[in-house]
């Protein structure tokens, strides 16, 4: 193979955008980025361009693999934030080549685990990742649509909160958020997020964190003792007002969170795709 693989430390981000967009142009769900969105993704997802790789043919970039890096508390984790090969260069084993290039560096850094997400219908990619030692950890569902919420009597008072009190907020969780919605991702991009809390007698009993520009809802949860009282409806009504009734996105909900998925359907959202979260040891 006459192609060269190197890290993306000195890459022109405009060029990276165009290769990502071409790689995903015929994908099950086409992903189209612009420079601003790519920069936001790099910051939020802790993408390290030194740990990200590109395949070059005569100086032209034909494939990419972006990787994020975080300390989980039990060791370093690397997350595959995007892998793409432009259509004319597929079927040549370039993804495996990029992994082979990267693995010695991950071992040197003592990375414990590698993770990624793949659309459940992308069978060839799933098979390829399984051959590389990845196993399915869980299924994640992605919802989108315009909210349709029935009016009812207000049971809480809503107010925006300036800071994330994670020890309190995490007590409402049933499942762990995915990489893009994790605590670190929201800390990285907090200036773009809004946190609205639902209070009953001055007690916080539910919250939602969302980005009004991208219209993504990153996290929402209600205290288990107060569920089924319409608090989720109130939080999402608030979001709906802020986004002026436009379509919203709730990505990567753990599919074991049955009550959460039922709620999303009840407010008019539909399942767009499902993904497998896969992982392997380094």
- Tell me the mean pLDDT in the region 36-61: 96
> What pLDDT, on a 0 to 100 scale, did the predictor assign at position 29?
73
Parts of the chain belonging to CATH 3.40.630.30: 4-133, 143-274
pLDDT digits (tens, 9 = 90+) for 257-281: 999 999 999 999 999 999 999 999 9
- Tell me the mean pLDDT in the region 196-224: 97
Work out the pLDDT band at 151, boundaries 50, 70, 90.
confident
- Tell me the mean pLDDT in the region 103-115: 97
Given a cut of 80, is residue 28 above it in pLDDT? no
Given a cut of 90, is residue 170 above it in pLDDT? yes
> What pLDDT, on a 0 to 100 scale, did the predictor assign at position 2?
77
> What pLDDT, on a 0 to 100 scale, did the predictor assign at position 32?
87
> What pLDDT, on a 0 to 100 scale, did the predictor assign at position 168?
98
- Tell me the mean pLDDT in the region 120-140: 94
> What pLDDT, on a 0 to 100 scale, did the predictor assign at position 256?
97
Topology annotation, domain 143-274 = Aminopeptidase (3.40.630)
- Tell me the mean pLDDT in the region 103-126: 95
pLDDT digits (tens, 9 = 90+) for 210-222: 999 999 999 999 9
Given a cut of 60, is residue 8 above it in pLDDT? yes
What percent of the chain stands above pLDDT 90? Answer: 91
> What pLDDT, on a 0 to 100 scale, did the predictor assign at position 1?
56
Three-state helix/strand/coil letters over the chain: CCCEEEECCCCCHHHHHHHHHHHCCCCCCCCCCCHHHHHHHHHHCCECHHHCEEEEECCEEEEEEEEEEEECCCCEEEEEEEEEECHHHCCCCHHHHHHHHHHHHHHHCCEEEEEEEEECCCHHHHHHHHHCCCEEEEEEEEEEECCCCCCCCCCCEEEEECCCCHHHHHHHCCCCCCHHHCHHHHHHCHHHCEEEEEEECCEEEEEEEEECCCCEEEEEEECHHHCCCCHHHHHHHHHHHHCCCCCEEEEEEECCCHHHHHHHHHCCCEEEEEEEEEEEEC
The mean predicted confidence, pLDDT, of the chain is: 95
Work out the pLDDT band at 126, boundaries 50, 70, 90.
very high
CATH number of 4-133: 3.40.630.30
């Amino acid at each position: 193979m006459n192609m060269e693989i190197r890290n993306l430390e000195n890459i022109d981000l405009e060029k990276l955008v165009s290769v990502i967009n071409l790689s995903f142009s015929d994908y099950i769900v086409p992903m189209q980025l612009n420079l601003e969105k790519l920069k936001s993704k790099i910051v939020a997802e802790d993408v390290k361009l030194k740990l990200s790789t590109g395949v070059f043919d005569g100086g032209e970039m034909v494939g990419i693999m972006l990787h994020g890096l975080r300390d989980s508390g039990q060791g370093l984790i690397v997350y595959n934030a995007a892998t793409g090969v432009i259509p004319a260069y597929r079927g040549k084993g370039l993804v495996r080549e990029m992994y082979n290039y990267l693995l010695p560096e991950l071992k040197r850094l003592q990375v414990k685990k590698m993770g990624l997400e793949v659309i459940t219908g992308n069978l060839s990619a799933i098979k390829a990742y399984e051959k590389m030692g990845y196993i399915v950890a869980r299924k994640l569902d992605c919802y989108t649509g315009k909210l349709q919420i029935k009016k009812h009597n207000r049971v809480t008072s809503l107010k925006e909160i300036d800071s994330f009190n994670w020890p309190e907020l995490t007590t409402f969780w049933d499942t762990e958020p995915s990489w893009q919605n994790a605590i670190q991702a929201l800390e990285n991009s907090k200036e773009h997020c809004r946190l609205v809390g639902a209070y009953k007698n001055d007690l916080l009993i539910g919250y939602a964190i969302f980005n009004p520009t991208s219209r993504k809802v990153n996290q929402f949860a209600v205290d288990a003792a107060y569920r089924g009282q319409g608090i989720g409806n109130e939080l999402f009504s608030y979001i709906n007002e802020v986004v002026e009734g436009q379509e919203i996105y709730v990505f990567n909900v753990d599919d074991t969170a049955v009550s959460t998925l039922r709620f999303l359907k009840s407010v008019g959202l539909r399942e767009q795709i499902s993904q497998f979260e896969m992982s392997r040891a380094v």
